Amino acid sequence: MSALEQIQRTFDLARAEGRAALMPYFTIGYPDLQTSFEIVCAIAESGADLIELGIPFSDPLADGPTIQYSTQVALQNGVNIHTCLDFVKNLREQGLTTPIFFMGYYNPIFNYGEERFAKAVSECGGQGLIVPDLPPEEAGELRRNCRNHQVAMVHLIAPTTPPERRQQIAELSEGFLYVVSVTGVTGARKTLPPDLMDFLREVRAGTKIPLAVGFGVSTPEQAASLGQIVDGVIVGSALIEVVRRAEQPLRAVRTFIRELQTAMRRNIAG
């Protein structure tokens, strides 16, 4: 089964259960490499449908304080792009089958080599790639390399993206379209923009590609509400905060992921 088929199948299965896919984000190497490995396994075991793994970078422009902190810790732990590829390879060797997307910034990918990196993502067992600081119009070469190695390249739109450009980006994105919920950087928020639902409905009406919303989603209630409109919900900063504050991170992660899943199922059922 190709990467695109695996991704589509994941959304189809979630849709058949009447819910959106749960897509947690976590930074590789935070709070240390071994613990992050155990956390990602716990995320998968607790019901995540897809997992987004962050490649640490020194200048993460799209990320807020929480993810910035986690990436700095990971960098201090010596985590680099090679470590991240080995990390996913080890997950696959341990039997983890959940589809995995890398989320990384362009500079390390450019230095590694676009074709080489796309091939490495495929070979280690990754299904997709998200590069938030690479505009779709400038991603042609990387997108071609990803296609050649059956890696889905996902693009992002924001509330400030004009409707015409949204359509263009949706046509270029593969696997799903990443819809940024807020104007700004990542980070858990107590409330989401009041016009977010209207924005999502407008995007939904304009494309058939699965939509996944992220940035700012922090509570089971928010995930459940958003899951009524989109195909996937991405939760990152809130999950890292759970780990940061917990005395027993693995237990806390399992609890949080299950709370998210339960809320998303209950809301649809209700």
Residue with tokens 């189809």: 12
Sign of the dihedral defined by the CA atoms of residues 70, 212, 139, 92, in that order: positive
CA distances (Å), 79 to each of 36, 104, 203, in order? 11, 13, 36
- Identified catalytic residue from 63, 86, 164, 202: 63
**One-letter amino acid identity for 37?**
F
Active site residue 138: no
Q: Is there a cis peptide before residue 24, judged by omega within 30 degrees of 0?
A: no
What is d(CA 44, CA 39) in angstroms, rounded to the nearest whole number? 9
Candidate list 52, 115, 221, 247, residue with the active-site label: 52
Residue 22 DSSP SS3: strand
Name the phi and psi angles at 211, rounded to 5.
-105, 135
Of 213, 29, 26, which Cα lies nearest the Cα of 102? 26
Q: Is residue 63 flagged as an active site residue?
A: yes
Instruction: Indicate the residue type of 112.
Output: Y
Query: What value, to the nearest 5°, has the Cα angle with vertex 241 and ends 153 and 83?
Result: 45
Alpha-carbon distance of 87 to 28, in angstroms, equals 8
* 192 phi, psi to nearest 5 deg: -100, 160
How far is residue 15's CA from residue 264's CA, in Å, rounded to a whole number? 12
Mapping DSSP to helix (H, G, I), strand (E, B) and coil, where does residue 101 land? strand
- Catalytic positions: 52, 63
